[in-house]
Chain A
Amino acid sequence: MPAFDEMTGTEGSVRPAYTELSGWLGEVPPDVLDYRRREAEVLFRRIGITFAVYGEADSTERLIPFDVIPRILAGSEWRLLKRGLEQRVKAINLYIKDVYGRRDILRAGIVPEDLVFQNPVFRPEMNGQKVPHDVYVHIAGVDIVRVDADTFYVLEDNARTPSGVSYMLENREIMLRLFPELFSRHRIAPVDNYPDELLATLRSVAPDSSTSEPNVVLLTPGVYNSAYYEHSFLADKLGIELVEGRDLFIKDEIVYMRTTQGPKRVDVIYRRLDDDFIDPLAFRPDSALGVPGLMSSYQAGNVTLANAVGTGIADDKAVYSYMPEIVKFFLGEEPILKNVPTWRCREEEHLAYVLDNLEQLVVKEVHGSGGYGMLIGPSADKATISEFRAKLKAAPKNFIAQPTLALSTCPTCVESGIAPRHVDLRPFVLSGRDEVRIVPGGLTRVAMKQGSLVVNSSQGGGTKDTWVLDD
């Protein structure tokens, strides 16, 4: 079954949003495109993504392939996505508040109690904890895939420390430099206000006790973290300090940073450090990356952590399948964005179906126990399938299953010229005190290998600029 193509649909005729691009691709000589592609790489190395690691032995590996052909969304498509994302993130915030508070959703039997209580990403330490302005997920990176002209699925709600937004910004910057003429043929919604929107969001959630000019900082695990580049890039764009755990300390339930002019109070921490490492007095005692006592200040309501501690309980694979019900429960609305149909192996009927159809399904291991165990039925051999069958029978609770999706494709520069490759989309949703902000577009990831559905950069995936037409 051929996948839906973003440019030509399934019928082969060019879809309206791609009219200009398609024409341009027809005009532009292949060597010019190839030349621009190499130019883009040079630009990335020179000014962009890799400047922090430039010269490291492994710099070549860290350069994520960039494809110069943009992925385009029509204005109407984007408006649908935007409404859906706002709805979903609102529900996620209400759900997390409930899970650490009244637990109505558990009492109503909508999400099973053990799924929450026994989940490693549930943080008992957050129980009864009030967070400033009831916002838990300030920054969400929701992964969306498309299967036909009208159907977008949410694949994953990244509600902890989603990354990739620096690529969204750099990709646009590079495209503007390389293809000004292409931009002049379109009306493309800008993305470069993202840092401003992010800063406004972070400031809006400062604790009530903070000063009128809240001090926002970005907490990084340090230069050895694989996303350090993004951390320093964002801190720079936001004009805030990039701090490590050792730059901060707690005194009398207030967070301070050590500056050359003495201690300075910190009000909001955009933290890119996992829950486990954030405070050795509350979580992993061996963490040297965190701030001892941070949770005491957090509990006292004197600092905002973005995202809040314990938000993993919203993006866990096991919880994911309940998201449509969660949306209905908290908002009383039908979800605008669908979930990928998911079988919960913890439920007997679902398990039976999954066991009967392993060859067609993708089986994913949920939280904890063993990491990345995944079965892609159609491409697995018999031995692997029977191994998974045994695992499923032994511990059905640990698994969910989904159909193998035909992700949409987008024209992409490859060795042989221009060919369709599978893509997904990660828009970044910002939730502030009273406003949800979404910069139009997001990060489009593309599987560079023919037929591959894996868009992860760690497995050879690349990125594209994402254009939302202002039509």
Chain B
Amino acid sequence: MLSRTADNLYWLARYVERAEYLARILEATQRLASVPIPIAGGTNEWESAVATAGCENAFFEVYEEANEETVTEFLAFSPDNPSSIRSCFEVARTNARAVRTALTVEMWDAINGTWLELKRYGNGPTSREEFSRFLRWVQESSLLFDGSAYRTMLRSDSYWFTRLGVFLERADNTARILDVKYHLLLPEAEHVGGPLDYFQWAAILRSVSALTSYHWVYRESVKPWLVADLLILKEEMPRSLANCYENIVTNLDKMAGSYGRQGPAQRLARGVRTRLQNSRMDEIFQRGLHEFIQEFIADNNRIGGIITQQYLA
């Protein structure tokens, strides 16, 4: 297939995934911010939401303070922020339009319908309740698109490129949450379960929709090192780094099989997956959680770049 078509499919999937992630962060932040803060001088949750979205610099170029109003505007509706939910859906739809005939009718209807619906939200919600509904709608739209792709697309390179987009983006997103919140997950902070910390951990899990899964996997109360274990190493957890890489490797292997040729993207991705498979949480803590995450983000970016070089350019 044309490299440009593959590129459009890949970014279409990435942007839809990113929109969903932003909605999850905003939802978790909204919830966290509504918890009464017993300790004065607690962290600014809105600021950390901006950091988690990976657009601190861009944000502070426009705004002086991170609060509910400015962050909501910037992450959800700003046309000037290329990674706001609105921009994500718009870019996704532009990509979709450029490859209209490579999509199934269901996928097109999903993304085009989302884009049309987005217009109805105008420049933002009028109330918190409405905003909550908006965030739910964003997540549902992403689910609808992802589900349409999963259920209607022919299993060929087109499909594999959309999957790669989804999982590279998802891996990046989970890693960013870990990068911003890693200090909360360090075992040295052994002070067990102050109420704020509990809410923070729960918020992290919620932002990757893993609160329920956590309990099923560990059958104990929320402990920071287990949260890290779940999000990094548990392959059965859909948004963990390990799961993302299982999927990235599988899809890249299918591509290599179909094309009869493999390249650096396959080799690098397998390397990352192997590292995740062979790691244990206590070792990661020993070597430094922060460094581990930073390295992962860099690797993930590199693989994105190499996929582009190998297939999309």
Interface residues of A (CB under 8 A from B): 51-52, 54-55, 223, 232, 235-236, 241-244, 246-247, 257-261
Flag whether B192 is at the interface (Cβ < 8 A): no
- In the bound complex, residues from chain A placing their C-beta under 8 Å from that of B6 are 260
Mark each residue of chain B from 68 to 99: 1 if its CB lies under 8 Å from any CB of chain A, else 0. 00000000000000000000000000000110
**What distance in Å separates the Cβ of B243 from its nearest Cβ neighbour in chain A?**
25
Is B112 touching A55 in the complex (CB atoms < 8 A)?
yes
Docked pose: A437 CA to B292 CA in angstroms: 66
Known contacts: A260-B259, A261-B261. The answer to whether A52 contacts B100 by CB under 8 A is: yes
- Could you say which residues of chain A place their CB within 8 Å of the CB of B98? 223
Whole-angstrom CA separation of A259 from B259 in the bound complex: 11
Which residue of chain B has the shortest Cβ distance to A242 in the bound complex? B101
Query: Quick one: given A54-B112, A55-B115, A260-B259, are A241 and B2 in contact (CB under 8 Å)?
Result: yes
Interface flags, B110-133, vs A, CB<8A=1, else 0:
001001100000000000000000
> Which residue of chain B lies nearest to A229 when distances are taken between CB atoms in the complex?
B100
Nearest residue, chain B, Cβ from A257: B2
- B275 near A: Cβ within 8 Å? no
Check A232 against B2 for contact (C-beta < 8 Å).
Answer: no
Say yes or no: B101 contacts A232, CB within 8 Å: yes
12 CB-based A-B contacts, threshold 8 Å? A223-B97, A241-B2, A243-B2, A243-B4, A246-B4, A247-B4, A257-B2, A258-B313, A260-B2, A260-B3, A260-B312, A261-B261
> Chain B residues near A261 (CB, 8 Å)?
259, 261
Q: B4, B101, B112, B157: which contacts A244 (Cβ < 8 A)? A: B4
Top 3 nearest A-B pairs (CB, nearest first) are A258-B3, A260-B311, A236-B101
A55–B312 Cα distance when bound, in Å, is: 29
A232 close to B100 (CB less than 8 A): yes
Most buried by A among B2, B101, B116: B2
**Given known A-B contacts A54-B112, A55-B116, A259 and B1 have beta carbons under 8 A apart:** yes
Q: Is chain B's binding surface mostly helix, strand, loop or mixed?
A: helix
- Nearest residue (CB) in B for A262 is B261
**Residues from chain A with Cβ under 8 Å of B2 in the complex:** 241, 243, 247, 257-260
Q: Which residues of B contact A246 (CB under 8 A)?
A: 4
Taking CB atoms, residues of chain A closer than 8 Å to B112 are: 54-55
Q: Which residues of B contact A260 (CB under 8 A)?
A: 1-3, 6, 157, 161, 255, 259, 311-312
Q: How far is the CA of A232 from the CA of B259 in the complex (A)?
A: 26
Contacts of B313 in A (CB 8 A): 258
Residues of B within 8 A of A52 (CB): 97, 100
Docked CA distance A235–B5 (Å)? 14
Interchain CB contact under 8 A, A247 and B101 = no
B100 touches A247 (CB 8 A): no
Apart from the given pairs A247-B3, A258-B313, A260-B6, 20 other A-B contacts in the complex at a CB distance below 8 Å: A51-B100, A55-B115, A223-B97, A223-B98, A232-B100, A235-B101, A241-B1, A242-B101, A246-B4, A247-B4, A257-B2, A258-B2, A258-B3, A259-B2, A260-B1, A260-B3, A260-B259, A260-B311, A260-B312, A261-B259
Closest to A243 in B: B2
Report the tally of A-B residue pairs with Cβ distances under 8 A: 43
Most B-side CB within 10 Å, residue of A55, A258, A259, A260: A260
Q: CA–CA, A258 to B4, complex, Å?
A: 8
Closest CB in chain A relative to B36 CB, distance in Å: 44
**In the complex, how many angstroms separate the beta carbon of A265 from the nearest chain B beta carbon?**
14
Distance of A266 from chain B, by nearest CB (Å): 11
What is the minimal beta-carbon distance from B140 to any residue of chain A, in angstroms? 19
Q: Which residues between 252 and 276 of chain B lie within 8 Å of chain A, taking CB atoms?
A: 255, 259, 261
Instruction: Enumerate B1-44 residues with CB–CB distance to A below 8 Å.
Output: 1-4, 6
B-side contacts of A236, CB under 8 Å:
101
Considering the chains assembled together, what is the distance between the CA atoms of A261 and B1 in angstroms? 8
B97 touches A259 (CB 8 A): no
Give the CA-CA distance A198 to B133 in the complex, in Å.
Answer: 51
CA–CA, A458 to B97, complex, Å?
Answer: 24
Report B272-299 residues with CB < 8 Å from chain A CB: none
Q: Please indicate the chain B residues that have their CB under 8 angstroms from the CB of A243 in the complex.
A: 2, 4
In the bound complex, CA of A232 to CA of B255 (Å): 26
Annotate B220-242 by CB proximity to A: 1 below 8 A, 0 otherwise: 00000000000000000000000
Kindly state the separation between the CA atoms of A54 and B161 in the bound complex, as whole angstroms: 26
CA distance A244 to B115 in the complex (A): 25
- Per-position contact with A for B156-169: 1 when CB-CB < 8 Å, else 0? 01000100000000
Which residues from chain B contact A258 at a C-beta distance below 8 Å? 2-4, 313
Q: Which of B183-229 contact A (CB under 8 A)?
A: none
Tell me how far the C-beta of A258 lies from the nearest C-beta in chain B, rounded to whole angstroms.
4
CA distance A261 to B161 in the complex (A): 13
- Chain A nearest Cβ from B184, distance in angstroms: 41
CB distance from A46 to the nearest CB of B (A): 10
**Which A residue sits closest to B261, measured CB to CB?**
A261
Expressed in whole angstroms, the Cα–Cα distance for A51 and B98 within the complex equals 12
B contact residues around A242 at 8 Å (CB): 101
CA distance A243 to B98 in the complex (A): 11
Q: From residue B309, how far is it (CB to closest CB) to chain A in Å?
A: 12
Chain A residues within 8 Å of B312, by CB = 260
Residue of A nearest to B310 (CB): A260
Could you tell me the distance in whole angstroms from the C-beta of B168 to the nearest C-beta in chain A?
16
Task: Tell me, in angstroms, the Cα distance from A320 to B116 when the chains sit together.
Answer: 47
Which chain A residue lies CB-closest to B255?
A260
Q: Tell me, rounded to whole Å, the shortest Cβ–Cβ distance linking B232 to chain A.
A: 31
Task: Tell me the smallest distance from the CB of B11 to a CB of chain A, in Å.
Answer: 14
Chain A: CB-nearest residue to B157: A260
B152 CB to nearest A CB, Å: 16
**C-alpha spacing A243/B99, complex, angstroms:** 11
- Chain A nearest CB, measured from B156 CB (Å): 11
Assembled-state Cα–Cα distance A223/B100 (Å): 10
| Cα(A258)–Cα(B309), bound, Å | 11
Q: Complex: how many Å from CA A259 to CA B6?
A: 8
Closest A-chain residue to B113, C-beta based?
A: A55
Q: When chains A and B are docked, how far (Å) is the Cα of A259 from the Cα of B261?
A: 14
- Inside 8 A of B100's CB, which chain A residues have their CB? 51-52, 232
Distance to closest chain B CB from A215 (angstroms): 12
Within 8 Å CB of A51, what residues of B?
100
Residue numbers in A under 8 Å from B259 (CB-CB): 260-261
Residues of chain A within 8 A (CB-CB) of B1 are 241, 259-260
- A243 CB to nearest chain B CB (Å): 7
Q: How far is the CA of A246 from the CA of B313 in the complex (A)?
A: 10
The answer for the CA separation of A303 and B146 in the assembled complex, in Å, is 40
When chains A and B are docked, how far (Å) is the Cα of A261 from the Cα of B97?
23
Residues of A within 8 A of B255 (CB): 260
Chain A contacts for B311, CB-based, 8 A:
260
Chain B nearest CB from A206 CB (Å) reads 20
Q: Say how far A51's CB is from chain B's closest CB, in angstroms.
A: 7
* Bound CA span A223–B98, Å: 6
How far apart are the CA atoms of A260 and B4 in the complex, in Å?
A: 9
